[in-house]
Amino acid sequence: MNKHLLLLPAVLLLAGAPSAFAAPSTDLTVTGLITPSACTPNLSNGGIAHHGEIPVKDLNPDKPTYLPHENLQMTVNCDAPTRFALEPIDNRSGTGMGNSYFGIGLVNGEKLGNFRVIPTNVIADAVRAQAIVSSDGGATWGKVGTDGFWGANNIWGVGELGADSAPIPVKELLIDLDVRTGIAATDGLTLTDEVTIDGSATLQIKYL
Protein backbone atom coordinates (compact mmCIF):
# COMPACT_ATOMS: atom_id res chain seq x y z
CA MET A 1 0.00 0.00 0.00
CA ASN A 2 2.80 2.47 0.84
CA LYS A 3 4.51 1.82 -2.49
CA HIS A 4 1.30 2.62 -4.29
CA LEU A 5 0.90 5.93 -2.44
CA LEU A 6 4.52 6.97 -3.00
CA LEU A 7 4.03 6.76 -6.74
CA LEU A 8 1.28 9.39 -6.72
CA PRO A 9 3.47 12.48 -6.03
CA ALA A 10 5.73 11.52 -8.92
CA VAL A 11 2.74 11.24 -11.22
CA LEU A 12 1.45 14.64 -10.07
CA LEU A 13 4.83 16.29 -10.63
CA LEU A 14 5.03 14.92 -14.13
CA ALA A 15 1.51 16.03 -14.90
CA GLY A 16 2.22 19.55 -13.66
CA ALA A 17 5.51 19.99 -15.54
CA PRO A 18 5.33 22.48 -18.42
CA SER A 19 5.33 20.90 -21.86
CA ALA A 20 4.90 22.18 -25.37
CA PHE A 21 2.86 19.13 -26.34
CA ALA A 22 1.11 16.16 -24.71
CA ALA A 23 3.56 13.27 -24.53
CA PRO A 24 2.33 9.68 -24.89
CA SER A 25 1.90 8.08 -21.47
CA THR A 26 0.88 4.91 -19.70
CA ASP A 27 0.03 4.03 -16.10
CA LEU A 28 2.06 1.93 -13.69
CA THR A 29 0.11 0.22 -10.91
CA VAL A 30 1.71 -1.52 -7.96
CA THR A 31 -0.51 -3.86 -5.93
CA GLY A 32 -0.10 -6.57 -3.34
CA LEU A 33 -1.28 -7.85 0.02
CA ILE A 34 0.75 -7.76 3.21
CA THR A 35 -0.29 -10.70 5.39
CA PRO A 36 0.62 -11.31 9.03
CA SER A 37 2.10 -14.69 8.17
CA ALA A 38 1.77 -17.34 5.51
CA CYS A 39 -0.70 -20.19 6.03
CA THR A 40 -0.71 -23.28 3.85
CA PRO A 41 -3.75 -25.62 3.63
CA ASN A 42 -3.44 -29.25 2.61
CA LEU A 43 -5.90 -32.12 2.08
CA SER A 44 -5.19 -35.82 2.41
CA ASN A 45 -5.54 -38.10 -0.63
CA GLY A 46 -4.85 -35.17 -2.91
CA GLY A 47 -8.20 -33.69 -1.91
CA ILE A 48 -10.10 -36.42 -3.76
CA ALA A 49 -13.20 -38.07 -2.28
CA HIS A 50 -13.70 -40.97 -4.69
CA HIS A 51 -16.97 -42.91 -4.71
CA GLY A 52 -16.02 -45.48 -7.33
CA GLU A 53 -18.58 -46.99 -9.71
CA ILE A 54 -22.25 -46.76 -8.74
CA PRO A 55 -24.84 -48.86 -10.63
CA VAL A 56 -27.96 -46.92 -11.62
CA LYS A 57 -30.10 -49.70 -10.11
CA ASP A 58 -28.73 -48.76 -6.68
CA LEU A 59 -30.06 -45.20 -6.95
CA ASN A 60 -33.50 -44.11 -5.77
CA PRO A 61 -35.91 -43.13 -8.58
CA ASP A 62 -38.10 -40.82 -6.48
CA LYS A 63 -35.79 -39.33 -3.83
CA PRO A 64 -32.10 -38.48 -3.42
CA THR A 65 -29.59 -41.27 -2.84
CA TYR A 66 -26.88 -40.50 -0.29
CA LEU A 67 -23.61 -42.25 -0.99
CA PRO A 68 -21.29 -43.69 1.68
CA HIS A 69 -19.34 -40.97 3.43
CA GLU A 70 -15.81 -40.19 2.31
CA ASN A 71 -13.37 -38.86 4.89
CA LEU A 72 -10.43 -36.55 4.32
CA GLN A 73 -8.11 -34.80 6.75
CA MET A 74 -7.27 -31.15 6.30
CA THR A 75 -4.25 -29.44 7.82
CA VAL A 76 -3.41 -25.76 7.85
CA ASN A 77 0.09 -24.74 8.88
CA CYS A 78 1.00 -21.10 9.52
CA ASP A 79 4.37 -19.47 10.15
CA ALA A 80 2.97 -18.01 13.38
CA PRO A 81 -0.42 -18.03 15.18
CA THR A 82 -2.78 -16.36 12.73
CA ARG A 83 -6.49 -15.58 12.60
CA PHE A 84 -7.85 -16.88 9.33
CA ALA A 85 -10.89 -18.41 7.74
CA LEU A 86 -11.43 -20.72 4.81
CA GLU A 87 -13.41 -19.30 1.93
CA PRO A 88 -14.87 -21.98 -0.36
CA ILE A 89 -15.36 -21.49 -4.08
CA ASP A 90 -17.81 -23.86 -5.75
CA ASN A 91 -16.18 -24.69 -9.07
CA ARG A 92 -19.49 -26.23 -10.20
CA SER A 93 -21.63 -23.33 -9.06
CA GLY A 94 -25.24 -23.51 -10.21
CA THR A 95 -25.31 -27.30 -10.48
CA GLY A 96 -26.12 -28.09 -6.82
CA MET A 97 -29.52 -28.59 -5.23
CA GLY A 98 -29.76 -25.35 -3.22
CA ASN A 99 -27.30 -22.52 -2.59
CA SER A 100 -25.73 -24.11 0.49
CA TYR A 101 -24.52 -27.24 -1.30
CA PHE A 102 -21.66 -27.77 -3.71
CA GLY A 103 -22.65 -28.96 -7.17
CA ILE A 104 -21.39 -32.17 -8.78
CA GLY A 105 -22.13 -31.32 -12.39
CA LEU A 106 -24.88 -31.64 -14.97
CA VAL A 107 -26.10 -34.47 -17.16
CA ASN A 108 -27.96 -33.23 -20.25
CA GLY A 109 -28.59 -29.97 -18.41
CA GLU A 110 -30.03 -31.77 -15.38
CA LYS A 111 -28.55 -31.25 -11.90
CA LEU A 112 -26.86 -34.51 -10.91
CA GLY A 113 -26.80 -33.78 -7.18
CA ASN A 114 -24.55 -32.13 -4.63
CA PHE A 115 -22.09 -32.60 -1.81
CA ARG A 116 -21.54 -30.96 1.56
CA VAL A 117 -18.68 -30.90 4.04
CA ILE A 118 -19.08 -31.69 7.75
CA PRO A 119 -16.08 -30.73 9.95
CA THR A 120 -15.25 -33.01 12.89
CA ASN A 121 -12.40 -33.58 15.36
CA VAL A 122 -11.07 -30.03 15.25
CA ILE A 123 -7.63 -29.65 16.84
CA ALA A 124 -6.01 -26.20 17.01
CA ASP A 125 -2.41 -26.18 18.27
CA ALA A 126 -2.91 -29.53 20.04
CA VAL A 127 -6.08 -28.29 21.81
CA ARG A 128 -9.60 -29.40 20.95
CA ALA A 129 -11.56 -26.59 19.30
CA GLN A 130 -14.78 -26.25 17.32
CA ALA A 131 -15.76 -25.45 13.77
CA ILE A 132 -17.56 -22.15 13.31
CA VAL A 133 -19.22 -20.53 10.32
CA SER A 134 -20.15 -17.06 9.12
CA SER A 135 -22.81 -16.21 6.56
CA ASP A 136 -22.11 -12.46 6.53
CA GLY A 137 -18.48 -12.30 5.49
CA GLY A 138 -17.08 -12.67 9.00
CA ALA A 139 -19.09 -9.98 10.80
CA THR A 140 -20.73 -12.60 13.04
CA TRP A 141 -19.97 -16.25 13.75
CA GLY A 142 -21.84 -19.27 15.03
CA LYS A 143 -20.78 -22.80 15.86
CA VAL A 144 -21.40 -25.70 13.54
CA GLY A 145 -23.72 -28.11 15.36
CA THR A 146 -23.57 -31.90 15.40
CA ASP A 147 -25.57 -32.17 12.18
CA GLY A 148 -24.33 -28.87 10.77
CA PHE A 149 -22.03 -28.44 7.83
CA TRP A 150 -19.77 -25.96 6.10
CA GLY A 151 -21.79 -24.58 3.20
CA ALA A 152 -20.82 -23.26 -0.20
CA ASN A 153 -22.06 -19.75 0.58
CA ASN A 154 -20.32 -19.37 3.98
CA ILE A 155 -16.81 -18.76 5.21
CA TRP A 156 -15.41 -21.31 7.62
CA GLY A 157 -13.38 -20.81 10.77
CA VAL A 158 -12.18 -22.34 14.02
CA GLY A 159 -12.91 -21.08 17.54
CA GLU A 160 -12.63 -22.10 21.17
CA LEU A 161 -15.15 -24.55 22.56
CA GLY A 162 -18.29 -22.79 23.75
CA ALA A 163 -21.79 -21.72 22.79
CA ASP A 164 -20.52 -19.20 20.26
CA SER A 165 -17.00 -18.30 19.35
CA ALA A 166 -14.98 -16.03 17.09
CA PRO A 167 -11.97 -17.19 15.06
CA ILE A 168 -8.84 -17.69 17.15
CA PRO A 169 -5.18 -17.38 16.11
CA VAL A 170 -3.89 -20.80 15.09
CA LYS A 171 -0.49 -22.03 13.98
CA GLU A 172 -1.32 -25.69 13.30
CA LEU A 173 -4.84 -26.87 12.52
CA LEU A 174 -6.11 -30.42 12.04
CA ILE A 175 -9.69 -31.16 10.94
CA ASP A 176 -11.42 -34.29 9.71
CA LEU A 177 -13.79 -33.57 6.84
CA ASP A 178 -16.79 -35.82 6.31
CA VAL A 179 -17.74 -35.43 2.64
CA ARG A 180 -21.35 -36.40 1.97
CA THR A 181 -22.59 -36.71 -1.60
CA GLY A 182 -26.19 -36.99 -2.73
CA ILE A 183 -27.45 -38.05 -6.16
CA ALA A 184 -30.76 -36.58 -7.31
CA ALA A 185 -33.78 -38.81 -7.91
CA THR A 186 -33.14 -40.74 -11.11
CA ASP A 187 -36.66 -40.06 -12.42
CA GLY A 188 -35.39 -36.58 -13.28
CA LEU A 189 -32.04 -37.65 -14.74
CA THR A 190 -30.96 -38.99 -18.12
CA LEU A 191 -28.66 -41.89 -17.22
CA THR A 192 -28.44 -43.87 -20.44
CA ASP A 193 -24.64 -43.49 -20.57
CA GLU A 194 -21.88 -43.38 -17.98
CA VAL A 195 -21.96 -40.14 -16.00
CA THR A 196 -19.04 -38.71 -14.05
CA ILE A 197 -19.60 -37.29 -10.58
CA ASP A 198 -17.75 -34.03 -11.08
CA GLY A 199 -17.80 -32.07 -7.82
CA SER A 200 -15.03 -29.55 -7.23
CA ALA A 201 -14.44 -26.80 -4.67
CA THR A 202 -11.44 -24.61 -3.95
CA LEU A 203 -10.68 -23.73 -0.33
CA GLN A 204 -8.71 -20.51 -0.05
CA ILE A 205 -7.23 -18.85 3.02
CA LYS A 206 -8.87 -15.58 4.07
CA TYR A 207 -6.80 -13.64 6.61
CA LEU A 208 -8.85 -11.90 9.29
**Entry pTM:** 0.78
Q: Which stretches of the chain drop beneath a pLDDT of 70?
A: 1-22, 33, 35-36, 146-147
Let me know: does 112 contact 184? Beta carbons within 8 Å: yes
pLDDT at 32: 73
Closest CA to 150 of 105, 120, 112: 120
pLDDT at 86: 94
Give the span between the Cα atoms of 198 and 48, in whole angstroms. 11
Other beta carbons less than 10 A from residue 166's beta carbon: 14
Give the span between the Cα atoms of 173 and 158, in whole angstroms. 9
What Cα–Cα distance (Å) separates residue 137 from each residue in 2, 27, 34, 40, 154? 26, 33, 20, 21, 7
- CATH architecture of the domain 38-207 equals Sandwich (2.60)
pLDDT at 34: 72
pLDDT at 203: 92
